[in-house]
């Protein structure tokens, strides 16, 4: 998903997607350790980027909530 599409989701939905990404990444790392190779090494990179994108957007939403509470 693109970042602008993720910004439309709620924090709970983003955290659920983040958990799914973490699970998928752990499975890829496990398969790489056991089998010694992965079908496509780019999938690990893509999952890591998606996870970073989710963490960034969750952080942005948390910061905006805190500033709105103070105002």
What CATH number does residue 20 fall under? 1.10.287.310
Report pLDDT for 21. 96
Q: Is residue 71's pLDDT more than 80?
A: no
The token pair at 17 is 């997607």
From 51, 50, 55, select the one nearest 11 (Cα to Cα): 55
Query: Which structure tokens are listed for 69?
Result: 């509470």
Domain count, the chain: 1
Tens digits of residue pLDDT in 11-60: 999 999 999 999 999 999 999 999 888 888 899 999 999 999 999 999 99
Calpha distance 15→2 (Å, rounded)? 16
What range defines the domain where residue 17 resides? 3-70
Q: Contact, 18 vs 68, CB < 8 A?
A: no
* Distance (Å, whole) CA 48 – CA 25: 7
């Amino acid at each position: 998903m693109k970042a602008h599409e993720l910004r439309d989701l709620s924090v709970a939905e983003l955290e659920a997607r983040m958990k799914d990404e973490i699970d998928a990444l752990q499975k890829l790392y496990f398969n790489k350790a056991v089998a010694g190779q992965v079908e496509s090494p780019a999938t690990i990179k893509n999952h890591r980027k998606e996870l970073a994108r989710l963490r960034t957007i969750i952080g942005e939403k948390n910061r905006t909530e805190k500033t709105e509470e103070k105002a």
